[in-house]
Amino acid sequence: MTSVSAGARQQDDASSSARRRRGTGSYDERRDRLADSALVTLGSLGYARTSLREIAANSEFTHGVIHYYFRDKTELITYCVRYYKATCVKRYDGVIRDSTTAEELVQAFADKLVETISTEAPMHRLWYDLRTQSMFDEALREDVLFIDATLETMIWRVLERYAALTGRPVRLPSSTAYAMLDGVFERALLRHVCGDARALQDLHATVLGALPLLLADA
Amino acid sequence: MTSVSAGARQQDDASSSARRRRGTGSYDERRDRLADSALVTLGSLGYARTSLREIAANSEFTHGVIHYYFRDKTELITYCVRYYKATCVKRYDGVIRDSTTAEELVQAFADKLVETISTEAPMHRLWYDLRTQSMFDEALREDVLFIDATLETMIWRVLERYAALTGRPVRLPSSTAYAMLDGVFERALLRHVCGDARALQDLHATVLGALPLLLADA
DNA sequence: GCACGGTCCTGACAGTCGTCAAGACCGTCC
DNA sequence: GGACGGTCTTGACGACTGTCAGGACCGTGC
């Protein structure tokens, strides 16, 4: 995994005052703002349909600047992916921290899953898009597998807390539990994006019903 | 759902002898052979990277012919999707038919899942590609949702047979069970495509372990 | 005030894409 | 044998893509 902040051109000191003459913020901050714009565009159009000109048009820059901050399109995309990961890894930490009973945790977890689809559906379909593209494009695999592993441990932390609160151990390995819940989540997202009004409430009910099955019998 | 055999140009009688002068087979058969070539190319490159010229290059035709048999690229793709569906819907019928005990069925089902990844991985990643693209492109949604529903009932038939053989009912609704198994399958496919040598044996073991959890206690 | 250099814009390049018009090919029928 | 018409090829069109060279802009340091 190469450094995230490896720029397109040589960059001796990102925080040097000489770098702040145009635009606002540091070199890295403007990279991140470009990544922000790119993620919005990617989430709206999908990976394949998003061009660098479109990303630039939805940002404060012009299309030529992208190659000043990123070597090529692939570097921009992978930077965006890693940048995005940082925002979603801690999504359920609050659920784990604030729940004091098993029922509370299950409810909060289901609530959070629903909320994250209703407020960030474009970002999530982008993630599934990139994960699927990684099956065709080797350049994406390293990042995708890393993020997938991160999500798996995130889910596992929820389940471990759930197991601790019930006193019953999880009876599935981490990878299986994650794959199952991810399948449920992906399907709910698809239905939601397709305009199915009941997708979210069904997701909520499904999670309430399915989580207990992941634990061993009392 | 519009008719699958609605051609790009008016087509009064597909089986008329006048249509057989060039090439071999009927108009519809040549459409299907074009779809065959397109599916191979799509499975190899992915939806976004597959151009009509590339499809034609991997077929017996030239790129201009595609617009003789299909109105535009979208019609070709959706035709391919429906054409493909017919080949995968009956995939587990043999498993259901030939299994006489629950253990036999679980084994045969797991075997089939592994086999279908090892022999048809490109086709499956294409399916996931198209399903994800349907979250961005409304033109694909109708076909994707239809196929997804078909796959769900296919899985449900397996589970119903499993329930009958054990005498224990499935304790999850059809949609949840399908989403969970699909998540497991998708993850195994991703790992397999990424070169993980243990992806398939893990899938096998996972299915053996997970299927009993879908049934109510004895 | 002037040169330097980081930042950004403009315009162009070659390549690829979907699409389609024009016509060649050729089996069939009068 | 000649006309017909379904089938297929060729070549082109405009639009779009990622990339990059050239130079404009402008804050900083001398």
Alpha-carbon distance values, B110 to A50, B87, B93, B208 (Å): 39, 19, 14, 7
Query: DSSP string of A42-93?
Result: HHHH-TTT--HHHHHHTSSS-GGGHHHH-SSHHHHHHHHHHHHHHHHTTTTH
Specify the CATH number for A22-81; select among 1.10.645.10, 1.10.10.60, 3.30.70.260, 3.30.360.10.
Answer: 1.10.10.60
CB contact (8 A) between residue A206 and residue B148 = no
- Which residue is nearest nucleotide D25, judged by alpha carbon to C1' distance? A22
Q: Measured between CB atoms, which of A49, A171, A183 is closest to B183?
A: A183
| CATH code 1.10.10.60 for B23-82 | yes
Whether nucleic acid strand C comes within 7 Å of the CB of A23, the answer is: yes
Strand D nucleotides, any atom under 7 Å to a protein CB: 5-11, 16-22, 25-29
10-residue stretch averages of pLDDT, chain A, 218 residues long: 39 41 77 95 97 96 95 94 85 94 98 97 96 96 94 96 97 98 98 98 98 92
**Joined tokens for residue A148:** 């997938």
* Chain A CB contacts of B134 below 8 Å: 190, 194
Reduced to 3 states (helix: H, G, I; strand: E, B; else coil), residue B215 is strand
pLDDT of amino acid B22: 62
Specify the pLDDT at position B98: 96
Cβ contact B28:B5 at 8 Å: yes
How far apart, in whole angstroms, are the C-alpha atoms of residue A83 and residue A60? Answer: 19
Q: From the alpha carbon of A16, which nucleotide's C1' atom is closest?
A: C6
- Number of DSSP helices (H) and strands (E) in chain B, helices first: 9, 0
Which chain A residue's Cα is nearest to B180? A180
State whether the beta carbon of B21 lies below 7 angstroms from any atom of strand C.
yes
List residues in chain B touching A: CB distance below 8 A: 45-49, 125, 128-129, 131-137, 141, 144-145, 148, 171-173, 175-176, 178-184, 186-190, 193-194, 202, 206, 209-210, 213-214, 217
Calculate the angstrom distance between C1' of D11 and CA of B65.
14
Low-confidence ranges of chain B (pLDDT < 50): 1-20
Question: What's residue A4's pLDDT?
Answer: 40
Q: Which residues of A touch B (CB under 8 A)?
A: 45-49, 125, 128-129, 131-137, 141, 144-145, 148, 171-173, 175-176, 178-184, 186-190, 193-194, 202, 206, 209-210, 213-214, 217
Q: Residue-wise over B75-98: b if at least 16 C-beta within 10 A, else e?
A: bbbbbbbebbeeebeeebeebbee
| Residues β-bridged to residue A29 | none
For B34, the token pair is 């074009």
> Please, where are the H alpha helices in B46-89?
52-57, 66-69, 73-88
DSSP 8-state class, residue B50: -
Torsional class of A204: left (φ above 0), alpha (ψ -120 to 50), beta (otherwise): alpha
Confidence (pLDDT) at A205:
98
| Contacting residues of A for B136, CB less than 8 Å apart | 45-46, 49, 125, 129
**pLDDT number for residue A98:** 96
Whether the CB of B13 is less than 7 Å away from nucleic strand C comes out as no
pLDDT of residue A172: 97
Distance A10 CA to C2 C1' (A): 27
Q: How far is CA A218 from CA A143, A166, A168, A205, A212, in A?
A: 39, 9, 6, 22, 11
Mutation target among A74, A187, A192, A203 for the B interface, most CBs of B within 10 A = A187
**Tokens 């693209």 label which residue?**
B133
Alpha helices in B134-173 (DSSP H): 141-166
pLDDT in tens, B176-208: 999 999 999 999 999 999 999 999 999 999 999
Model pLDDT, residue A25: 78
